[in-house]
Amino acid sequence: MLDSRKIPENEIRIVYVRSSGAGGQNVNKVSTKAQLHWNLAGSSIFDASEKAKLRAAFRNRLTNEGEVVLTASEQRTQSQNRETALEKLYRLIEHALTPQAKRIPTRPTWASMLRRRDSKKRRTQTKKLRKNLE
């Protein structure tokens, strides 16, 4: 998990709100949905280049103040949704900071080049037949 780095608890704020959707009376009276707020801009454990990568990865989840907002409402209790939200945050951070494997370009196979050529010939024939009908 994040090469043994952990986000300090004072940087993360969790607010509990009522979940939407089906669920019966429990949804109407218990605030179990966890909204995790993490100030990425003010975080002390990531350097500038890592923060830039994280900003790009979280671009749809960032507020104007530079705060990441994640929600979890899959479970029925606050504590389970809190853990789910934290796991989601760490998983997204780990994915964003994992270097992408460089693509090694390969040549097309002989058979695939022949298939491509044949399909082009068939397409040409189809168009030629249409042209003569006019």
Q: What is the pLDDT of residues 35-92, one digit of tens each?
A: 999 999 888 889 999 999 999 999 998 988 889 999 998 888 889 999 999 999 999 9
pTM (two decimals) = 0.70
Q: Does 2-97 carry CATH code 3.30.160.20?
A: yes
Average pLDDT value for the chain: 88
Q: Whole-angstrom Cα distance, residue 38 to residue 66?
A: 9
* Top-confidence residue, 27 or 34: 34
Q: Whole-angstrom Cα distance, residue 116 to residue 97?
A: 39
Task: Write down the domain spans for the chain.
Answer: 2-97
Question: How many residues can be counted in the chain?
Answer: 134
> Residue 134's pLDDT is what?
56
> Residue 120's pLDDT is what?
97
pLDDT for residue 132 is more than 70:
no
